[in-house]
Amino acid sequence: MTGTGSRRPPRSATAPGQRTRRAEPTRATAYRLLRAVADGAYANLELPRLLRRARLSGRDAAFTTELAFGTLRNRSFYDAVIARAADRAVTRIDDEVLDVLRLGVHQLLGMRVPDHAALDQTVGLARAVVSQGAGGFVNAVLRRVSEADRDTWLDRVRPDGGGMAALALEWSHPEWIVGALRAALIGHGAAGPESSDTALADLLRVDNEPAKVTLVARPGLTTVADLVAQGGVAGAWAPTAVVLDSGQPADLAEVRDGRAAVQDEGSQLIALALAAVPTGVQGRAKGRWLDLCAGPGGKAGLLAGLAPYAGADLVANEVSEHRADLVRQTLAPAIEAAAARGCTVEVRTGDGRNYGEDEPGGYERVLVDAPCTGLGALRRRPEARWRRQPGDVTALGPLQRDLLRSALDAVAPGGVVAYATCSPHLAETTFVVRDVVRKRDDVEVLDARAVVEEASGGALTDLGEGPHIQLWPHLHGTDGMFLALLRRTH
């Protein structure tokens, strides 16, 4: 160190003309992921394919994942650093070069990579994937970045005056999302106006930390004990959850053949709660459950395991044919297991908004896992924060309300509807429920807290004032899942 906040520029014993001119596999794979995301790919879906193609596993796969996902999460902060170090707006830097620079800055400011290795390897990547000239530019910019640590750079680029803009830059969230999350923390009772700044900073910080890999042991197909015996750890809240501290999910046979799957613990609790809440449906020999928006099949997979034990059939509906095919694939083992117990699991392709009219009162339990902005899962989907816009909230609102209305018409008197989103945004959660319920005289809002406590085996308590449930990454370690439980009274 040459002084507070400064670092000695890295020196290399290798002459500039002899430095690496190739793309090292882990960094090249991270770069390919960033370019795929720029073209519209989803990072969590694309990365496993790229890792397999590059034959990366173990420590190399972990390095690649942290490099790519950390770069995506911290994009706006890194762009501000790059703009200052390059003395030009990032809009004046070619997209391919900018992605290489982002990867280099994350190694320097966000990872424990020696400065000389970060520079040499990133310059080599630039030369391999862009051009020789790009390598020189990348080298010059990254050398300037390497002269100071993260905190010093943050002080240099942070907007004056603090507030939302400063938090947005420090934790690399769009400012509109920062404002929405603050309002959600207050609106859901997770913070008061006086404590909201601290709670917000905690939430934003955790959004930038890698989420744990959590599996669901699908009932009737495998058990938590089976997965724990292979190195997992039982989850904290859901009795079906197992956390993997190391290794890849696909290394487990149970995951490969669909007896277990990757699923956040909060998501599991939604399905478990719907299955646990008592219903008052009369005069039916067998129950019928409906997942109105089943794709890609996570909650449907858990419901498909639970329904036969309750003597119920399950219909898993998805509007997109492609996503319906994904549901069929993930439910294939459950379909066979349900048949052995005399029950059916049926996957359909259709518009969930039509079920209330087409099958009025036809179901005992209905799940509306509504399409939403996904602001509760930013840890797992690092690029989502940059793709979503405020207008998306407005655009999704009518669909969310229509689906909830349809579900309430499709459930029988005495039956229960679970409305869930992976977003805490007030306009996607409590406002939707309020708007739909106040126009009906046949709906009772249930207190979801007791049901979720039961579904978690008493592990998850202190769930706020109710009646709805809002889980938080920084408080519960889950995705930001919202749950409302509604009973059809007549």
CATH of the domain at 243: 3.30.70
- Does residue 134 have a pLDDT over 60? yes
pLDDT given at position 248:
82
pLDDT tens per residue, range 65-85: 999 999 999 999 999 999 999
Q: For residue 6, what pLDDT band results from cuts at 50, 70 and 90? A: low
Q: Indicate whether 283 belongs to any domain.
A: yes
- Are 47 and 68 in contact by the 8 Å Cβ rule? The answer is yes
- Say which range, 13-27, 102-116, 200-214, has the weakest mean pLDDT: 13-27
Tell me: do 126 and 194 sit in the same domain: no
Positions annotated as catalytic residues are: 422
Tell me: do 135 and 47 sit in the same domain: yes
User: Strands 411-421 and 482-488: what pairing?
Assistant: antiparallel
Tell me: do 376 and 483 sit in the same domain: yes
pLDDT given at position 250:
86
Instruction: State mean pLDDT over 443-453.
Output: 96
Tell me: do 219 and 190 sit in the same domain: no
Residue 360: CATH number of its domain: 3.40.50.150
Q: Indicate whether 5 belongs to any domain.
A: no
Q: For residue 280, what pLDDT band results from cuts at 50, 70 and 90? A: confident
- Does residue 4 have a pLDDT over 60? no
pLDDT given at position 14:
47
From the list 437, 400, 420, 432, the residue with the least C-alpha distance to 480 is 420
Tell me: do 301 and 357 sit in the same domain: yes
- Does residue 63 have a pLDDT over 50? yes
Q: For residue 284, what pLDDT band results from cuts at 50, 70 and 90? A: confident
Number of domains in the chain: 4
Q: For residue 283, what pLDDT band results from cuts at 50, 70 and 90? A: confident
Q: For residue 446, what pLDDT band results from cuts at 50, 70 and 90? A: very high
Q: Indicate whether 10 belongs to any domain.
A: no
How far, in Å, CA of 411 to CA of 395, rounded? 26
How far, in Å, CA of 187 to CA of 193, rounded? 10
In percent, how much of the chain has pLDDT > 70? Answer: 96
The pTM assigned to this predicted structure is: 0.92
Tell me: do 202 and 225 sit in the same domain: no
pLDDT given at position 464:
85
Residue 101: CATH number of its domain: 1.10.940.10
Q: Indicate whether 2 belongs to any domain.
A: no
233, two tokens: 């750890």
Instruction: State mean pLDDT over 266-279.
Output: 96
Q: For residue 462, what pLDDT band results from cuts at 50, 70 and 90? A: confident
Tell me: do 269 and 251 sit in the same domain: no
How far, in Å, CA of 324 to CA of 346, rounded? 11
Q: Indicate whether 4 belongs to any domain.
A: no
Tell me: do 285 and 241 sit in the same domain: no
Q: Indicate whether 7 belongs to any domain.
A: no
Domain that includes residue 443, residue range = 265-488
Tell me: do 167 and 225 sit in the same domain: no
Tell me: do 301 and 447 sit in the same domain: yes
Q: For residue 7, what pLDDT band results from cuts at 50, 70 and 90? A: low
pLDDT given at position 239:
97
Tell me: do 356 and 255 sit in the same domain: no
Q: Indicate whether 117 belongs to any domain.
A: yes
Q: What is the mean pLDDT of the chain?
A: 94
How far, in Å, CA of 28 to CA of 324, rounded? 34
Instruction: State mean pLDDT over 173-186.
Output: 97
pLDDT given at position 9:
52
For residue 387, CA distances in Å to 38, 74, 173 come to: 10, 14, 11
Tell me: do 285 and 397 sit in the same domain: yes
In percent, how much of the chain has pLDDT > 90? Answer: 89
pLDDT given at position 167:
94
pLDDT given at position 17:
47
Q: Indicate whether 157 belongs to any domain.
A: no
pLDDT given at position 12:
46
Q: For residue 21, what pLDDT band results from cuts at 50, 70 and 90? A: low
